[in-house]
Amino acid sequence: MRRFMEKRVLLGNSISRWRRSLSSTAQTATASVHDSDEFIARLPPFDYTPPPYNGPSGDEILGKRKEFLSPSISCLFRKPVNIVDGKMQYLFDENGRRYLDAFAGIAVVNCGHCHPGVVEPVINQIKRLQHPTVLYLNNAIADFAEALASKLPGDLKVVFFTNSGTEANELAMMMARLYTGCQDIISVRNGYHGNAAGTMGATGQSNWKFNVVQAGVHHALNPDPYRGMFGSDGAKYARDVHEIIQYGTTGHIAGFLFEAIQGVGGIVDLAPGYVPAVYDIVKKAGGLVIADEVQSGFARTGDFWGFEAHGVVPDIVTMAKGIGNGFPLGAVVTTAEIAGVLTRRSYFNTYGGNAVATTAGHAVLRVIEKEKLQENAAEVGSYLKQKLIQLKDKHQIIGDVRGRGLMLGVELVTDRELKTPAAAETMHVMDQMKELGVLIGKGGFFGNVFRITPPLCFTKDDADYLVEAMDHSMSKM
C-alpha cells in the first residue's frame, strides 16, 4: 500500500510538471506570436530578386575565416550574416532574405550596391585594359583627376591616387612635413586616420594603437558638443591647439589633421566655430590644414565635402571609401606648390591610378550628379535625424542624436545625467534590428554609438522602417 501511494505521488508530480511545461510552452508560443504581430512594419517594396545562391554556407565560411584569416578580423553581429548579393540600398543573405543596409560597407557604397552606372563602365574598362601602370599614358586616370579636381575649391587641383584612406593620410602628413620643414602634426583626440605607423600616431584612440613608435603627433582636446568639457563652444577648444603649439612645439608646426565629422569616433560633429578658429591658429604657426574626408566626402553629409560646413578651404584634402563605391581607391588633392615637394625624390604608387579603379571613381561622380544624391542625402538625412530625435524623446537610453546628411550617430547611455555608455545594450539592439532586417554599424570609443551611414539612394520610406525597427528593438529590451 505504501509503495502504491509513493508511486501515485510520483505520478501526480510528473503530471503536474507536464502540465506546467505544457502551460509554459503555450505561453511561450503565445508570446512569440504576440511579438511577431506587434511589429507590423514591412520593408519598402523593391523590384529585385537575387539569383539562387549555391555557394558555401555561412558556417562553412566562418570556419575558413577562423582557420585561414587573421584572428584580428571580427564579425559585426553575434550571429554573423552571410551576405551574397546587393542592389542599391539593400543586401541579401544566403537564403535570399533582404536587409536594409544602413552602413554601406562602412560609409563606402555611396551610389548604392552594384549600381549599373558604376558597374557597366568598370566592366567595359576591365575587358579592354586592367592595369597599364601610370608610367604609360591612359585616359582613365587623367579624366578622373580632372573631374575630381573640379569638385574642389580654390587651388586644390593636383591629385595623387592611392589605394586607401590610410595611404592617403600617410602621404598628406609627409607632404606637410616636407613643405613646412617642421615635424609636429596636431590631430584631435577621438579621431581616426588609419592603421599604418604615421596615421596610427595621428589617431586619437587607444583602441586603435599598437605599441609601436608613433612620434611627432600632438592630440588636441576633442571639440565634442555632447561629451566635451566646453560643450558647443568651439573657440574654447581651439585655445588648446594654440597652447599645444606654444608649449609643446618650437612654435612652428607641419600641420593640423581633422575629420569634419569623426566617423570611427562615433559620428561626432565638431563644435561650431572650432575649425575656423583653429585654421587661423595653425596658419600663424606656419602649418598646413589637412581635411580627412575619407568618410564624410562625396556628398555624404549633404555637402559634397564635410569641411564645407565649417567655412574653410584646407591646404590638403584626403579621401577614400565613397570615392570608388567599393573599389580600393583613395586620393590626396592639394595645390601645385605643395605637390612640388614630392619631386625632391621619387614618389610612386603601383596601383594608385589603376585604370579600373579610376574608371569607377569617375563613374561615381557622374552618378552622384545625375541622380542628385547630394540633395537626397541632405533631404532624407534631415528627415531621418528628426525621426531619431523624436525617438530620443521616447527612449531614455538614447543620450544623443547627431551628424549631418546621411552620416548620423545615435549614442546610447544607461544614465542620461552621467552619460554612462551603454555598450552591451548597443550590441543587443543591433542584433535585434538585424533580425528585423536592418543592418547598422557601431563606433565611438566605448562602442555605444550607432553609425548610420547608408547608401545615398536611401529613401524616406527606408528611414521610416529603420526608425520603427530601432523603436521596437528598444521597447523589447
Domains of the chain, first to last: 58-111+373-475 (3.90.1150.10), 116-370 (3.40.640.10)
- pLDDT category at 9 given cuts 50, 70, 90 is very low
Query: What pLDDT does 243 receive?
Result: 98
Residue 56: is its pLDDT beyond 50? yes
Task: Quickly list DSSP for 260-279.
Answer: SEETTTTSEEPPTTHHHHHH
Average pLDDT over every residue of 203-225: 96
Q: Taking Cα atoms as reference points, which of 131, 134, 189 lies closest to residue 161?
A: 134
**What distance in Å separates the CA atoms of residue 414 and residue 152, rounded to the nearest whole number?**
42
Residue 270: is its pLDDT beyond 50? yes
With a CB cutoff of 8 Å and minimum separation 6, the contacts of 261 are: 267, 268, 269, 270, 295, 296, 301, 306, 403, 404, 407
pTM of the full structure: 0.91
Q: Calculate the average pLDDT of the chain.
A: 92
**What distance in Å separates the CA atoms of residue 458 and residue 381, rounded to the nearest whole number?**
9
- pLDDT category at 35 given cuts 50, 70, 90 is very low
Query: What pLDDT does 196 receive?
Result: 95
The torsion of the CA quartet 14, 16, 22, 26, rounded to 10 degrees, works out to -160
